[in-house]
Structure 1
Amino acid sequence: MSTRTLKYRGPLAALSAEDKRRLLDRSGESDAQVATRVRDIIARVRKDGDRALLDMARELDRANLTSVEVPRARWEAALASLDPKVRRALERAARNIAKAHEAQKPHAIEVETEPGIVVGRRPDPLGRVGVYAPGGRAVYPSSVLMGVVPAKVAGVGEVIVCSPPGPDGLPAAGVLAAAALAGADRVFALGGAGAVAAMAYGTQSVPRVDRIVGPGNAYVAAAKLQVVDAVAIDAPAGPSEILVVADRSVDPEAVAREMLAQAEHDPDACCVTLAVSVTVAETIAAAVERAAAKAQRREIVTTALRERGAVLSVDSLEEAWPFVSEFAPEHLLIATAMPREHLERVRNCGTVFLGERASVAFGDYMTGANHVLPTAGLGHAYSGLSVLDFYRWTTYQHVDHAAAAQLAEDVGVLADSEGLFAHAEAARAWRKP
């Protein structure tokens, strides 16, 4: 089942139980050293606040900061100096993200469960949200848009952005420009677990937020999981992944391009194709091999494909869907002649791309859908980031005089049965209309 570049190659049905388990389990081994280091960083930030953040910027980022906050003039200058072509593309992306997320905004509801009893539920925007933007090897201005724009659409009171400083003491220029374009309120030159701790618990300069969103490395992911006692987070995220389902109509080169586009993200990326027929699978595998040999990020691509790359054959599309559901990919590309016909079969994935022309790259940047998505099989329980992540809900209920009299005895009976006698008394006090 192995080949020079791809980890797995052959019929899906021929995978051993152990190989299938390894392919499905993308959670990664728990790194005790990372968890311990993150715990120490969080404790340090909680104890020493800004001083700890400034010291860690010097120790970890080699940046000598006098303040952790980036003046607005610096990020507005970054936007002004941005390549005009890049700026136009970011503006187009921001417009589409805003339009797509505006359509997702929830509405208040009320229902009369019985005459005189009204139950309502109202969406309230969060007061303050923190958006983490990676730095270093991975700098993604597009991810700033994906976090800030939906938060602003939702009406969040304040949106802050944290991103690691470079040697000049500032986050990457593209990140600063995207923060200005998206309408962020404040930007901080903070990275890694320290940034997460600062947003979760607050420091002298960094305000405490209600939710932290955005991608990051293993330290960021571990820190987000360790601060859930204090703040809400988006779905825990790991390395990028794609699952392609292809039939005989597919262009093998198109599938290869999609495989490489995800493989170049990270050496731990997971890229899998299920192709109908051995012939189609072998043609796609050969295209992947050729493309990998010429990739500009060849070392990252080949490492990813050797560790977690697969092109597997199935006898029919019917054989593919159970595996798709079990795998729960971050990105699912249905590269078939009639992709919409299969959409109802899909569950448990971050986002679906219908047809080979619906490149994942389009979704990553420009369609307006959010690219912050669950990975490692967490699509079984989590959804991709949306405008809904930036609200909390207030539930309310009203009971009129007559309804209270009608409720009193039955509620008293239930309360007595549970041994909550004060509850019963509170209810029965309203027995008389």
Structure 2
Amino acid sequence: MKITRITDKKVSLRRTIDTGTEEQRKIVQDIITTVRDKGDEALYSYTKTFDKVELEDLLVTEAEFTEAYNELEAEMVTIIQEAAGNIRAFHEKQKRETWISYDENGTMLGQKITALDAVGVYVPGGTAAYPSSVLMNVIPAQVAGVKRIVITSPPTSKGTLPAGVLVAAKELGITEIYKVGGAQAIAALAYGTESIAAVDKIMGPGNIFVALAKREVFGIVDIDMIAGPSEIVVLSDHTARPNEIAADLLSQAEHDKNSSSILVTTSMQQAEAVKREVEKQVATLPRHEIARASIEAYGHIYVADDLDTAIAVVNELAPEHLEVLTDNPLASLHEIKHAGAIFLGRYSSEPVGDYFAGPNHVLPTNGTARFSSPLNVDDFTKKSSIISYSEKAFFKNYKKVAKLARLEGLEAHARAMEERLK
């Protein structure tokens, strides 16, 4: 990891967002068109081509759920249940209610909160299984009141889905699960096929083809975000332990070769110690090749002269995950403006938030924490304005409305007000 000393609070460290190549975009566009035109036939064909498996049915069967429970040890099922309870309790606090207010002149104004009808959750496959993606995407949708939640995920070589994914879904009461991955799954959720009815919003992370597909169908359906590679920034002073910092940095590096792991510290001695610890620990990881490639490409240590400068660097980075490992973490909280999730103190290691604490782990990446929030219950609702104008209010204000309309050159708007005087 490279060590850089920073003395100026005015830093520019923003990372370029990967929008894919022209060839990748063309592949995704062709897949979407084919799925839209050929439906299930295209899904079976792409599954055979990309996942190397021939399926008899796209929908997960009850027998597959049973096998998943047989495969997973009982303690793990209990842990999934407890994590789900923590996540649900946190998101219950985010719920909003419809509200209505009345003016003394008889006008009624308000806002109606309505849950989306149908949501699709994409759960990635590939090099790992992600039951946590099921919990984090499904639970806030359930809390919001979404009636239909469907999951798609690429099948394994055995033609089914990982046991952890199926158990997590079943524990939440989700049984509409399809063994379809990639851009073809996104197309199916957006446009519908013979087997998969279309949804209103698509959630969940995936590879570059999934991300590009979500970008292509946005507008036909809503999407959560175009997620970039995982990121962690650790903000520390001399009191933090180098071995723990290194372990936390590597917790993100093992995700993907493009993941970003950054330390911002006020101690050069600590910076050098963390660099040594990262080299020591990465060699022992099962996914050491991925973690090492990530650290070499996107790992960095910034050494600031003081904590104020260090916080300015953090705000510029606007990280997905931020750990604050200082003598008094809470004291810095009000100065931190941009971060998806903020972990305060030694025992708030990032994986606590990934899996168990309760807050959502679907977070803004690529610096978008400057203007975006973690996935939450609001993401699964829409808001309708309620307007019931009284006669008294109308006659008091109709001339003002008509004047504003004519200022904008919209005569019919003005006449719509004046027509009620006849």
In which range does the TM-score fall when normalised by the shorter chain?
over 0.9
Amino acid at match of 1:196: I
What's the CA shift for 1:71?
Answer: 2.1
**Is 165-174 or 195-204 further displaced after alignment?**
165-174
The reply on whether 1:165 has 2:155 as its aligned counterpart is: yes
State the TM-score, normalized to the length of structure 2: 0.96
CA 1:13–1:303 in structure 2 vs 1: closer, same or farther (change >3 Å)? Answer: farther
What's the CA shift for 1:14?
Answer: 9.2
Structure 2 residue corresponding to 1:11, chosen from 1, 5, 13: 5
Q: Secondary structure at the match of 1:285?
A: helix
Q: What is the rounded CA distance, in whole Å, between the counterparts of 2:191 and 2:329 in structure 1?
A: 46
The reply on whether 1:370 has 2:364 as its aligned counterpart is: no
- 2:139 maps to which residue? 149
Structure 2 residue corresponding to 1:221, chosen from 211, 214, 221: 211
What's the CA shift for 1:294?
Answer: 2.4
Residues 408, 431 of structure 1: 8 Å contact kept:
no
Which runs of no fewer than 5 residues in structure 2 stay unpaired? none
The reply on whether 1:379 has 2:373 as its aligned counterpart is: no
CA 1:11–1:114 in structure 2 vs 1: closer, same or farther (change >3 Å)? Answer: farther
What's the CA shift for 1:103?
Answer: 0.7
Q: What is the rounded CA distance, in whole Å, between the counterparts of 1:268 and 1:9 in structure 2?
A: 19
Report Cα offsets for 1:187-235 as digits up to 9, x if no partner.
Answer: 0000010000000111111011011111111111111111002110012
What's the CA shift for 1:81?
Answer: 4.0
- 1:350 maps to which residue? 340
Amino acid at match of 2:195: S
Residues 406, 414 of structure 2: 8 Å contact kept:
yes
Residues 406, 431 of structure 1: 8 Å contact kept:
no
What's the CA shift for 1:9?
Answer: 1.1
Q: Secondary structure at the match of 2:248?
A: helix
The reply on whether 1:190 has 2:184 as its aligned counterpart is: no
Which runs of no fewer than 5 residues in structure 1 stay unpaired? 1-5
Which residues of 2 match residues 22-37 of structure 1 at below 5 A? 24-28=14-18, 30-37=20-27
Q: What is the rounded CA distance, in whole Å, between the counterparts of 2:330 and 2:58 in structure 1?
A: 49
What's the CA shift for 1:112?
Answer: 4.3
Q: What count of residue pairs does the alignment treat as equivalent?
A: 422
Which residues of 2 match residues 272-351 of structure 1 at below 5 A? 272-351=262-341
What's the CA shift for 1:150?
Answer: 1.3
The reply on whether 1:75 has 2:69 as its aligned counterpart is: no
Report Cα offsets for 1:44-82 as digits up to 9, x if no partner.
Answer: 100100000001111111111122111244224423542
Q: What is the rounded CA distance, in whole Å, between the counterparts of 1:340 and 1:93 in structure 2?
A: 25
Q: What is the rounded CA distance, in whole Å, between the counterparts of 2:24 and 2:358 in structure 1?
A: 34
Amino acid at match of 1:225: R
What's the CA shift for 1:111?
Answer: 3.6
Structure 1 residue corresponding to 2:195, chosen from 202, 205, 209: 205
State the TM-score, normalized to the length of structure 1: 0.93
What's the CA shift for 1:161?
Answer: 0.4
CA 1:106–1:413 in structure 2 vs 1: closer, same or farther (change >3 Å)? Answer: same
- 2:81 maps to which residue? 91
Q: What is the rounded CA distance, in whole Å, between the counterparts of 1:178 and 1:283 in structure 2?
A: 40
